[in-house]
Structure 1
Amino acid sequence: MIDKLLRVGTTYIPVTNVELSSEWYVNKLGAELSYKDEDKAILNFANQSIFLVKSNENQSSNFYDINGVERFSLTFEVNGLSVLKAIHKDFTEKEIRVGEIENRGHSGRNFVFYDLDGNKFDVWSELSPTFKEKYLIS
């Protein structure tokens, strides 16, 4: 047996208001709330646990690359361009701050969206082959 890291189990996201943010993730993204206290909320969605951790103002999971471009730390995958377009439309109707659908020069298309605290996330229209095979998605 070869020991190796198998998956990302939990992602931590800084938020200023755990109550408001957990409601936003549940109502806007369809997350399932499994625990909440004053300092954190544990959400389940996109096949992992997301911890919303109470943080100071003006903190986010974003970072700036060498060229000064703000980057996201997470990309969510969806199964195809039609699903990507449907989610983009749904997010727009739910008044989530979203970017335009982009062609970044690789397979598939992407768009970005933001939560209440400005945490920036990416959505990509391509599922990984391993995920498709494991969950029998065609």
Structure 2
Amino acid sequence: MKEKLIRVGTTYLPIKDVSVSASWYVDNLGAELTYMDSDKAILNIANQSLFLVKSKENESANFYDANGEERFSLTFEVNGLAALESIHNDFLKKKIRVGEIENRGHAGRNFIFYDLDGNKFDVWSELSPIFKEKYKID
């Protein structure tokens, strides 16, 4: 195979109410709403499209690992510990459900947060070196 997958372009998330969830992502995470109908909303956030798809009750993108721990399927990156701490504080002020900032034994620090529908996300304080180089971020 000569060609390679280049990037993740779209992530799909199950949600209960398209309009309410789209507003939450715009207001709390700074997403840009590009399309919405009764079944889905398309948002631009963190250099990709996020599709919020109206789903059955109690659906989420979370899963359980072999030890029974609920896991997230998506990690957002920020540029450094100060940015991580700032976003964490902002989320707390907005009353977003967030976990504590953690040291997981690797470079940087992380925290988790949840959207209105219980979709669990991770935030990591380390931008990928390739991303930093491509977008000329110090």
TM-score (norm 2): 0.99
Identify the residue that residue 33 of structure 2 maps to in structure 1: 33
SS at match of 1:85: helix
Deviation beyond 6 Å, 4+ runs, structure 1: none
Identity of aligned residues (%): 74
Q: How does 1:83-102 map to 2 (within 5 A)?
A: 83-102=83-102
Q: Which runs of 5+ in 1 are unaligned?
A: none
Distance of 1:107 and 1:24 partners within structure 2: 30
Q: Distance in 2 between matches of 1:32 and 1:137?
A: 22
Q: Deviations over 1:85-132 (max 9, x none)?
A: 000000000110000000000000000000000000000000000000
Q: Deviations over 1:53-84 (max 9, x none)?
A: 00011000000000000000000000000000
Q: How does 1:1-138 map to 2 (within 5 A)?
A: 2-138=2-138
CA distance in 2, matches of 1:54, 1:45: 19
Count of equivalent residues: 138
Displacement of 1:24 in angstroms is 0.2
> How many Å apart are 1:2 and its aligned residue?
3.0
Q: Deviations over 1:17-40 (max 9, x none)?
A: 001000000000000000000000
Partner Cα separation in structure 2 for residue 73 and residue 11 of structure 1: 10
For 1:38 and 1:25, how far apart are their aligned partners in 2? 16
TM-score (norm 1): 0.99
Q: Distance in 2 between matches of 1:21 and 1:121?
A: 15
1:83 aligns to what SS in structure 2? helix
